[in-house]
Structure 1
Amino acid sequence: MARLKETLLTLVWLVNKSQIQDQELQVLLKLRQSWQDPSSLDHWVASNSSSHCAWPEIKCQEGLITELNLVNLNINYSIPLFICDLKNLTKLNLSYNNIPGEFPTVLYNCSKLVYLDLSQNYFEGLIPSDIDRMADLQALILAANSFSFDVPASVARLRRLRILHLYMSEYNGTYHEEIFGLSNLEELSLGYNDKFVPSQLPQNFTALKKLRFFSMPQMNLFGRILETVSDMEALEHLDLGKNPLTGEIPGSIFALRNLSELYVYKTNVSGSIPQAVSAANLSVIDLSLNNLMGNIPEVFGQLKNLYSSNLEFNQLSGGIPEHVASLPALSDIRLSNNNISGTIPLDFGKFSPLRRFEVAFNNLTGAFPEQLCHGGTLFGLAAMDNNLSGELPGSLGNCSTLLLVMLNNNGFTGNVPAGLWMSRNLTALLLSGNGLTGELPKELSPKLNRIEMSNNKFFGKIPSMMSSWRNLVVFDASNNLLSGTVPAELTVLPSLTTLLLGQNKLSGNLPTDIVSWKSLTTLDLSHNKISGPIPSKIGLLPVLTQLDLSDNQLSGLIPPEFGQLNLNRLNLSSNRLSGPIPAILENAAYDVSFLNNLGLCASNSFMRINVCSTQSRRSSKTNLTLIVILAIAAAMCVLLVVLFMIRASRKNRDWFDSTPKLTPFQSLNFTESNILSGLKEPNVIGSGGSGKVYRIVVNPSGHTVAVKRILNNRKLDEKLEKQFVAEVEILGNIKHLHIVKLLCSISCENSKLLVYDYMENSSLDHWLHKKNRLSPVSGVSNNMILDWPKRLQIALGAAKGLCYMHNEFKEKIADFGLARMLAKPGEAVSMTVVAGSFGSLAPVNEKIDVYSFEIVLSELTTGREAHDGNEDMGLAEWAYFHFDQGKPISDVIDEEIRDNSSLDQISNVFKLGIFCTAKLPSTRPTMKEVVQMLLKCSDPHYDVEKKFQHNLDAAPLLGNSK
Structure 2
Amino acid sequence: MKRTILIFLHFSICIGTFFHFLSHANSQLSAQEQGILLNLKKLWGNPESLRHWIPTNSSSHCSWPEITCSNSSIIGLSFRDYNINGTVAPFICNLKNLTTFDVYNNSFHSKEFPRALYNCSKLEILDLSQNYFYGAIPDDIHRMSRLRELSLEGNNFDGNIPASIGQLQELRKLMLISCLFTGSFPQEIGNLSNLEELKLVDNSKIVSTFPLEFGKLKKLKYLWMARTNLIGEIPNTIGEMEALEYLDLSENNLMGRIPGSLFMPKNLRIVYLHRNNFSGEIPHVVKALNLDVIDLSENKLTGTIPDDFGKLKHLTSLALFLNQLSGKIPDSIGHLPGLVYLGLFNNNFSGSLPAELGRYSMLEKLWISTNRLTGQLPEHLCDNGKLVEVIAYENQLVGELPESFGNCSSLELVKIYRNNFSGNVPSGLWTSSNLNMLMLSDNSFTGELPERLAWNLSRLEMNNNCFSGKIPQGVSSSRNLLVLMASNNLLNGTIPQDLSSLTILLLDQNQLSGSLPLAIDSWKSLNTLNLSRNAISGQIPEELGSLQRLSELDLSENQLSGLIPSKLGFLNLTSLNLSSNHLTGSIPSEFEYNEYAHSFLNNPGLCANRPSRSFNLENCNSSQKGSSLNFYATIAGIISLVVAVLRGLLFLFSLIRKNKFHLTWKLVSSQKLSFTKSDILSGLIANNLIGYGGSGQVYRVVVNHSGDIVAVKKIWNNRKLEEKLEKEFLAEVKILSSIRHANIVELLCCISNDNSKLLVYKYLDNWSLDHWLHKKSRATIPSSSIDHVVLDWPKRLHIAVGAAQGLSYMHHDCSPPIVHRDVKSSNILLDLDFNAQIADFGLAKILINEGELATMPAVAGSSGYIAPEYAGTTRINEKIDVYSFGVILLELTTGRKANDGDEHSSLAEWALRHIEDGKPIDDALDEEVKELCHLNEMCHVFKLGLYCTSTQPSTRPSMKVVLKVLLQCSQPIRND
Q: Say whether 1:334 aligns with 2:343.
A: yes
Please give the per-residue CA displacement for 1:382-408, whole angstroms capped at 9, x wherever unaligned.
111111122222333433433332222
- Could you tell me the percent identity over the aligned residues? 44
Q: What is the CA–CA distance in structure 2 between the aligned matches of 1:54 and 1:524, rounded to whole Å?
A: 70
Summarize the Cα distance change of 1:79–1:951 in structure 2 as closer, same or farther, 3 Å threshold: closer
Q: What is the CA–CA distance in structure 2 between the aligned matches of 1:238 and 1:680, rounded to whole Å?
A: 72
- How many Å apart are 1:193 and its aligned residue? 1.6
Aligned residues: 719
State the SS of the aligned residue for 2:618.
coil
Letter in 2 for 1:532: G
The equivalent position to 2:234 in structure 1, one of 216, 225, 237, is 225
| Conservation of the 8 A alpha-carbon contact between 1:568 and 1:804 | no
Letter in 2 for 1:199: S
Matches within 5 A, 1:490-889: 490=499, 492-493=500-501, 496-515=502-521, 520-603=526-609, 604-614=611-621, 681=644, 684=647, 802-804=777-779, 806=781, 811=786, 880-884=841-845
Q: Say whether 1:933 aligns with 2:898.
A: yes
Matched residue, 2:104:
95
Q: What is the CA–CA distance in structure 2 between the aligned matches of 1:927 and 1:318, rounded to whole Å?
A: 37
Summarize the Cα distance change of 1:257–1:879 in structure 2 as closer, same or farther, 3 Å threshold: closer
Matches within 5 A, 1:75-224: 75-102=84-111, 103-196=113-206, 198-224=207-233
Q: What is the CA–CA distance in structure 1 between the aligned matches of 2:133 and 2:524, rounded to whole Å?
A: 46
Summarize the Cα distance change of 1:342–1:938 in structure 2 as closer, same or farther, 3 Å threshold: closer
- How many Å apart are 1:138 and its aligned residue? 0.9
- Rg larger in structure: 1
Summarize the Cα distance change of 1:200–1:467 in structure 2 as closer, same or farther, 3 Å threshold: same
Q: What is the CA–CA distance in structure 2 between the aligned matches of 1:686 and 1:144, rounded to whole Å?
A: 61
- How many Å apart are 1:801 and its aligned residue? 5.1
Q: What is the CA–CA distance in structure 1 between the aligned matches of 2:487 and 2:243, rounded to whole Å?
A: 57
Letter in 2 for 1:142: L
Further displaced range: 73-82 or 502-511 = 73-82
Matched residue, 1:293:
302
Please give the per-residue CA displacement for 1:210-252, whole angstroms capped at 9, x wherever unaligned.
2222222222222222122222222222222222222211111
State the SS of the aligned residue for 1:204.
helix
- How many Å apart are 1:94 and its aligned residue? 2.7
| Conservation of the 8 A alpha-carbon contact between 1:256 and 1:280 | no
State the SS of the aligned residue for 1:228.
helix
Letter in 2 for 1:590: Y
Q: What is the CA–CA distance in structure 1 between the aligned matches of 2:484 and 2:648, rounded to whole Å?
A: 50
Q: What is the CA–CA distance in structure 2 between the aligned matches of 1:904 and 1:518, rounded to whole Å?
A: 30
Q: What is the CA–CA distance in structure 2 between the aligned matches of 1:216 and 1:142, rounded to whole Å?
A: 15
Summarize the Cα distance change of 1:329–1:28 in structure 2 as closer, same or farther, 3 Å threshold: farther
State the SS of the aligned residue for 1:301.
helix
Please give the per-residue CA displacement for 1:164-207, whole angstroms capped at 9, x wherever unaligned.
111222324444322222222222121222221x3322232212
The equivalent position to 1:463 in structure 2, one of 464, 472, 486, is 472
Summarize the Cα distance change of 1:594–1:66 in structure 2 as closer, same or farther, 3 Å threshold: same
State the SS of the aligned residue for 2:446.
strand
Letter in 1 for 2:189: I
Q: What is the CA–CA distance in structure 2 between the aligned matches of 1:211 and 1:286, rounded to whole Å?
A: 20
Summarize the Cα distance change of 1:60–1:568 in structure 2 as closer, same or farther, 3 Å threshold: same
Q: What is the CA–CA distance in structure 1 between the aligned matches of 2:119 and 2:223, rounded to whole Å?
A: 31
Please give the per-residue CA displacement for 1:82-115, whole angstroms capped at 9, x wherever unaligned.
5445443322333234444444444334332211
Q: What is the CA–CA distance in structure 2 between the aligned matches of 1:112 and 1:877, rounded to whole Å?
A: 46
Q: Say whether 1:396 aligns with 2:405.
A: yes
Matched residue, 1:321:
330
- How many Å apart are 1:937 and its aligned residue? 10
Q: What is the CA–CA distance in structure 2 between the aligned matches of 1:53 and 1:394, rounded to whole Å?
A: 65
Q: What is the CA–CA distance in structure 1 between the aligned matches of 2:471 and 2:600, rounded to whole Å?
A: 28
| Conservation of the 8 A alpha-carbon contact between 1:358 and 1:381 | yes
| Conservation of the 8 A alpha-carbon contact between 1:325 and 1:346 | yes
Summarize the Cα distance change of 1:165–1:22 in structure 2 as closer, same or farther, 3 Å threshold: same
State the SS of the aligned residue for 1:506.
strand
State the SS of the aligned residue for 1:254.
coil
Matched residue, 1:377:
386
Letter in 2 for 1:509: S
- How many Å apart are 1:594 and its aligned residue? 0.7
Letter in 1 for 2:346: N
Q: What is the CA–CA distance in structure 1 between the aligned matches of 2:53 and 2:401, rounded to whole Å?
A: 61
State the SS of the aligned residue for 1:333.
strand
| Conservation of the 8 A alpha-carbon contact between 1:600 and 1:609 | no
| Conservation of the 8 A alpha-carbon contact between 1:230 and 1:253 | yes
State the SS of the aligned residue for 1:276.
coil
Q: What is the CA–CA distance in structure 1 between the aligned matches of 2:93 and 2:392, rounded to whole Å?
A: 59
Q: What is the CA–CA distance in structure 2 between the aligned matches of 1:441 and 1:118, rounded to whole Å?
A: 61
Summarize the Cα distance change of 1:687–1:459 in structure 2 as closer, same or farther, 3 Å threshold: farther
Letter in 1 for 2:841: Y
- What is the TM-score with the length of structure 1 in the denominator? 0.65
Summarize the Cα distance change of 1:110–1:431 in structure 2 as closer, same or farther, 3 Å threshold: farther
Summarize the Cα distance change of 1:682–1:470 in structure 2 as closer, same or farther, 3 Å threshold: same
| Conservation of the 8 A alpha-carbon contact between 1:594 and 1:609 | no
Please give the per-residue CA displacement for 1:629-664, whole angstroms capped at 9, x wherever unaligned.
x9xxxxxxxxxxxxxxxxxxxxxxxxxxxxxxxxxx
- How many Å apart are 1:502 and its aligned residue? 2.0
| Conservation of the 8 A alpha-carbon contact between 1:923 and 1:951 | no
Q: What is the CA–CA distance in structure 2 between the aligned matches of 1:189 and 1:299, rounded to whole Å?
A: 30
Letter in 1 for 2:842: F
The equivalent position to 1:453 in structure 2, one of 442, 453, 462, is 462
Query: What's the C-alpha RMSD, in Å, of the aligned pairs?
Result: 4.7
State the SS of the aligned residue for 2:351.
strand
Please give the per-residue CA displacement for 1:341-374, whole angstroms capped at 9, x wherever unaligned.
0001111111122232211111111111222233
Summarize the Cα distance change of 1:156–1:85 in structure 2 as closer, same or farther, 3 Å threshold: same
| Conservation of the 8 A alpha-carbon contact between 2:859 and 2:871 | no
| Conservation of the 8 A alpha-carbon contact between 1:112 and 1:136 | yes
Matched residue, 1:662:
none
Summarize the Cα distance change of 1:502–1:94 in structure 2 as closer, same or farther, 3 Å threshold: farther
State the SS of the aligned residue for 1:180.
helix
Matched residue, 2:939:
none
Letter in 1 for 2:175: H
Matched residue, 2:702:
none
- How many Å apart are 1:77 and its aligned residue? 4.2
Structure 1: gaps spanning 5 or more residues: 619-629, 631-668, 692-764, 772-794, 815-845, 848-860, 862-875, 895-902, 955-962
